[in-house]
Amino acid sequence: MAESITITDNRTGESLEVPILNGGVAASEWSKLLPGVWFYDPGFMSTAVCESAITYLDGEAGVLRYRGYPIEQLAEHSTYLEVAYLLLNGELPDTAQFDDWRREVTMHTFIHENVRKRFLDGFHYDAHPMGMLVSAVAALSTFYLDAKDIFDPLSRAKQITRLIAKMPTLAAAAHRFSVGMPFVYPDNSLDFASNFLSMMWKVAEPRFEADPALARALDILFILHADHEQNCSTTAMRVVGSAHADPYSACAAACAALYGPRHGGANEAVIRMLTEIGNLDNVPAFVEGVKAGNGRLQGFGHRVYKSYDPRAKIIKRTADQVFAVTGKNPLLDIALKLEEIALSDDYFVSRKLYPNVDFYSGLIYQAMGFPLEMFPVLFAIPRTAGWLAHWQELLDQDSRIARPRQLYVGTDEREYVPVERR
Ligand code: ACO
């Protein structure tokens, strides 16, 4: 007999046995016994919204796998473009498949001149690059009218390639605009990460040569951020996608979710916190302040991970490789001390608060020269692969439109009162 639970409606005495499948019980079964009684689950704390074969996450054990491959192996041996292919197609590409994929992505890195000249150049001079990215991604849907054909396999593949390819171009363009520098066209002789660094930093040199260690470090960060199952922005992508919006509009919604400081902004909060702490001597007092309820230790704790975030371990190693080129970020010592104290303090240990992916990623980005405003943008570039993989999976599952219920707690029916009598 498969595992199951039995629900009893104490109002009627009726019972129903519900099987536990893949770690869940189907709400449709529950509704058979209790129509009109809804699960109350704000923040989806206990709700699985879909079946997915993309990413496996065990927060207790600190395990993260894309399509079955451990994140540690992908970070060590793979590239972001290969990982994007894996997420989207379910399998690692062979040599010919990868060459085709890389060529396709490389051919689509340019953006329509009007996107830049008419659209991006129209922003206010101090526009936030993430706000520009959200809008620019949405605007792409008006340039590719075939994007609406979401059930045409050729159109779908083309929009996916375009989005993966154009995100770095849009991201770098948003940065260049925000600092008053001219736009840099993609250099299609460069790999994905090096091309992005060229579009970010090129000044007057004929060809921008990124330091290979920095390009590799960025590529590793892209791999680590490529997917994280049903996080807030992926859920936004799935909800909008379930209405059969085109992928650019759905992706813009996902970007907008990532713009929120609770999601894409935590590494920026880490840098601000470390800067505020200022020096090593202030660390113990800061930790005591957190324990007393004065704010949180940014970059610590996670809704799902209740052990060391496996991505944080990889990032910590990557940081050393970056600092060997850029020089050590002066905030690193404060971060290490903070981690050391927190990991031996019962307050953090008993609550299972460990460093998450954001604890060290901001230090790397800052050492590489990225301004704080670019941190969520750097997250959005690789997460696009995950968003699109989930969007595709959702469409292939012929899923229904996302439409949760609510528990109404407002006033009962009442008569309209004309304004002069209120
Ligand atoms: N510092 C100090 N205490 C903390 C922290 C922290 N960073 N995180 C959680 N706690 C404490 C809470 O005060 C609470 O204590 P209590 O039981 O005594 O009341 C307990 O740990 C549980 O915390 P919750 O807020 O219930 O945990 P939740 O799962 O809702 O929050 C979150 C997870 C938002 C990530 C939280 O740990 C946090 O705010 N961390 C700091 C911000 C951060 O690093 N965010 C990045 C997340 S990763 C990402 O989005 C890519």
Q: How many other CB atoms are there within 10 angstroms of residue 279's CB atom?
A: 10
Q: What is the DSSP string of 308-337?
A: --HHHHHHHHHHHHHHHHH---TTHHHHHH
The answer to whether residues 109 and 165 belong to one domain is: yes
Tell me what percent of the residues of the chain surpass a pLDDT of 90.
Answer: 84
Which of 303, 308, 347, 358, when mutated, tests ligand 1's pocket best, judged by the most ligand atoms within 8 Å of its CB? 303
Residues acting as catalytic residues:
263, 302, 358
Number of domains forming the structure of the chain: 2
Contacts of 175 (CB under 8 A, 6+ apart): 129, 200, 371, 374, 377
Side-chain-side CA neighbours of 389 within 13 Å: the count stands at 25
> Strand 63-66's sheet: what is its strand order?
55-58, 63-66, 69-70
Tokens of residue 250, six digits: 């759905």
Of 58, 74, 94, at which residue does a domain stop? 58
Instruction: Give the Å distances, CA to CA, from 138 to 28, 52, 91, 142, 401.
Output: 35, 26, 29, 8, 21
Of 13, 42, 58, at which residue does a domain stop? 58
Instruction: Give the Å distances, CA to CA, from 245 to 147, 251, 279.
Output: 9, 10, 49
Q: How many other CB atoms are there within 10 angstroms of residue 187's CB atom?
A: 15
Q: How many other CB atoms are there within 10 angstroms of residue 239's CB atom?
A: 20
The answer to whether residues 43 and 83 belong to one domain is: no
Q: What is the pLDDT of residue 263?
A: 87
Rounded CA-CA distance 182/361 in Å is: 27
Phi, psi of 255 (to 5 degrees): -60, -40
The answer to whether residues 16 and 162 belong to one domain is: no
Q: What is the pLDDT of residue 1?
A: 58
Helix, strand, coil % over all residues of the chain, rounded to 5: 55, 5, 35
Q: Is 58 helix (H, G, I), strand (E, B) or coil?
A: strand
Rounded CA-CA distance 254/237 in Å is: 5
DSSP assignment letter at 181:
P
Of 58, 73, 96, at which residue does a domain stop? 58
Tens of pLDDT along 299-334? 998 888 888 889 988 998 899 999 999 999 889 999
Measured from the CB, is residue 358 less than 6 Å from ligand 1?
yes
Contact (CB, 8 A) for 211 and 325: yes
Rounded CA-CA distance 226/347 in Å is: 32
Residue numbers in the chain where pLDDT is lower than 50: none
Instruction: Give the Å distances, CA to CA, from 190 to 102, 128, 196, 212, 341.
Output: 11, 27, 9, 11, 43
Tokens of residue 122, six digits: 């129209």
DSSP assignment letter at 401:
P
CA dihedral 411, 415, 419, 422 (to 10 degrees): -60
Rounded CA-CA distance 364/370 in Å is: 9
Cα of 37 to ligand 1 centre, how many Å? 31
The answer to whether residues 43 and 96 belong to one domain is: no
Tens of pLDDT along 51-76? 999 999 999 999 999 999 999 999 99
The answer to whether residues 48 and 64 belong to one domain is: no
Measured from the CB, is residue 234 less than 6 Å from ligand 1?
no
- Report the chain's C-alpha Rg in angstroms: 24
Q: Is 2 helix (H, G, I), strand (E, B) or coil?
A: coil
The answer to whether residues 146 and 48 belong to one domain is: no
| pTM tops 0.85, yes or no | yes
The answer to whether residues 21 and 115 belong to one domain is: no
Rounded CA-CA distance 81/176 in Å is: 24
Q: Which is it for the CA torsion 269, 274, 278, 281, positive or negative?
A: positive
The answer to whether residues 272 and 382 belong to one domain is: yes
Domain that holds residue 393: 60-422
Cα of 119 to ligand 1 centre, how many Å? 39
Q: What is the CATH number of the domain that holds 403?
A: 1.10.580.10
The answer to whether residues 224 and 371 belong to one domain is: yes
Measured from the CB, is residue 355 less than 6 Å from ligand 1?
no
The answer to whether residues 168 and 48 belong to one domain is: no
The answer to whether residues 241 and 280 belong to one domain is: yes
**Residue having the nearest C-alpha atom to atom 35 of ligand 1:** 302
Measured from the CB, is residue 298 less than 6 Å from ligand 1?
yes
The answer to whether residues 414 and 357 belong to one domain is: yes
Cα of 307 to ligand 1 centre, how many Å? 13
14-19/55-58 β-pairing: unpaired
Phi, psi of 4 (to 5 degrees): -155, 170
